[in-house]
Amino acid sequence: MKKIFLILISAMLVITSCDKTDFEEAYPNPAKISVSTVEKQFAGMIYTNREYVVPSYWNYFVVYRITANRYTQATGWVNATNQYVPGSGAVNDRWNNFYSFYSQYRQMQNIYDALTEEEKAERRIYMIAATIYVYDATQKVVDLHGDIPWTEAGKIIANGGDYMTSLPKYDKAEDIYAKMLDDLKAFADELNTINVPSGILTGFKTQDIINKGDLTKWKKYCNSLRLRMLTRVSSVASFQQRATAEINSILNNPSAYPIVENNNDNIQIAVYDLNTPINSKGFRTGLEDWDGNLAGKAIIDYMKLNSDPRLETMFQPGDSAKGEFFGVDPLATSGEQEAAILTNTISRYNWSTISRNEYFPGVLVNASEAQFLAAEGFLNAGNDAKAKAAYEAGISSSIKNYYLYRSVSNNADSGPVTAPTDAEIAAYIAQSGINWDNATTKEAKRALIAMQKWVDFSVIQPLENWAEVRRLNIPQLSFWIDNADPQKQPPVRWQYPDNERTYNTENYNAVSGNDKITNKLFWDLN
């Protein structure tokens, strides 16, 4: 049933090239399909989206390799014409997967709404958790495109299978953010008082592949996601007052609104058994094929300059580099870049820690990200001492987490590494280029946070990395100018997939005037 439903909804939302007759013959009326359960739909929904959380071949090779990882210079590459236009394969696949996943969520809503009030109350935790997870994914899609179909999307089931009446209108990106923030705030309060019957909680622990039924971690996920989204819109005039108030409320009330504080709290989909479909086996070819794992010059130079203890576990020297680390220069000609790569001196992302680590988790929110967000929040509030503490906690969490990734790896191709001691981490934090107290202005301190976040995200959280680089313009990256193409520099958003223009024409036309890769998102004010 799940597979039929997924295909059906994907065909509707991405709108395939089949006509009405073909559609009706191929797929049964979803209104007549036997109904699933809230519990099964919850697990199925998370599973549907797994390849966009747990590192997979398609996501990294088709989507990230030619888009976000280049736009942030997390990776190096050989310059070529038309390199800044997001490929249709990346755009279409990311869009299609989100709406298949979102449709699963809509079906879960339909099933939940059909329950009795007593049954709804018992299973409320499923809807809260599902919505938090869906909002995390939605935020990423909004940050890619801006306005997207949302409130009307995925409702073909409720419309009796009539896909022509289910073509969804586009919602404003600002409105989607506002709605999600409203709901997340309500969930944060509700999670403090929710009563989950023991039998339901037992089942929830089984179905919940993210937090294993740990309600405290769901609180931390909810509030950390709120903190991320509030920070992203904090400079937008219509959100400023709200963002300031709610960020301060979260940070000053940790008992009511806890966030991810240490790596034991990390929100992720862990890999436990390589014999299941939830694994990172595809990470190797996804990142490494076509030299997709080459290091970029900017990140290597920054880490070398500051003797970053993450360097040896994040990257490995080229075979002929004599233990030295070098990245691809984005301003060099393609010939110069190819020659440098052929010398085997260019560094690559560490095989054993990252790409060949089949136990690499699917990262949602790490302690490092949450602490860097807290640092910016305290900084904006004028609490320098707490900003410094959160900044340093973020660095420590990031360093330790990369070595945690390595500790669970089943690959030893890159040779051994030694995790730094607390004293060595403290020495790194005390260095002049990292030291909080050496930054004398708010802007300089914000730059310290942003640079550490950029290193931490690297290729692990590409979409969050690109969003933050656009929001802050930190680091200030230089790119080769593609004079042979109208798009001479990296885009600031993705366009909509071609199928939207063809099959959701009326609704697409309403937003088509803004469908340019040079049109900034509402929170991108640089």
- How do residues 159-189 score in pLDDT, each as one tens digit? 665 666 678 999 999 999 999 999 999 999 9
pLDDT reported for residue 166: 72
Residue-wise burial string across 135-174, b where 16 or more C-beta atoms lie within 10 A, e elsewhere: bbbbbbbbbbbbbbbbeebbbbbbeebebeebbbbbbebb
* pLDDT tier, 225 (very low <50, low <70, confident <90, very high otherwise): very high
Rounded CA gap, 59 and 362, in Å? 12
pLDDT reported for residue 16: 33
Q: Any bridge partners for residue 294, and if so which? A: 348
75: DSSP letter? B
The answer to whether the beta carbons of residues 129 and 40 sit under 8 Å apart is no
Rounded CA gap, 159 and 120, in Å? 22
Q: What are phi and psi of 72, to 5 degrees?
A: -100, -5
| Residue 33 pLDDT > 90 | no
| Residue 8 pLDDT > 90 | no
* pLDDT tier, 154 (very low <50, low <70, confident <90, very high otherwise): confident
pLDDT reported for residue 5: 36
| Residue 104 pLDDT > 70 | yes
* pLDDT tier, 36 (very low <50, low <70, confident <90, very high otherwise): confident
Encoded tokens for 50: 């797994």
* pLDDT tier, 285 (very low <50, low <70, confident <90, very high otherwise): very high
Containing H/E element for 362?
strand 362-365
In percent, the amount of the chain with pLDDT more than 70 equals: 91
Q: Count helices and strands (H / E) in the chain.
A: 23, 6
| Residue 70 pLDDT > 50 | yes
pLDDT reported for residue 25: 36
Q: Which residue has the higher pLDDT, 353 or 12?
A: 353
For 5, 128, 395, 396, 493, the CA distances from 427, given in Å and listed in that order, are: 55, 42, 12, 11, 39
Q: Which of 128, 101, 112 is nearest to 189 (CA)?
A: 128
Quick one: three-class SS letters along 252-317?
Answer: HCCCCCCCCCCHHHCEEECCCCCCCCCCCCCHHHHHHHHHCCEEEHHHHHHHHHCCCCCHHHHEEC
pLDDT reported for residue 160: 61
Mean pLDDT of 281-309: 97
pLDDT reported for residue 526: 84
Q: With respect to CATH, is domain 260-268+277-480 assigned 3.30.470.160? A: no
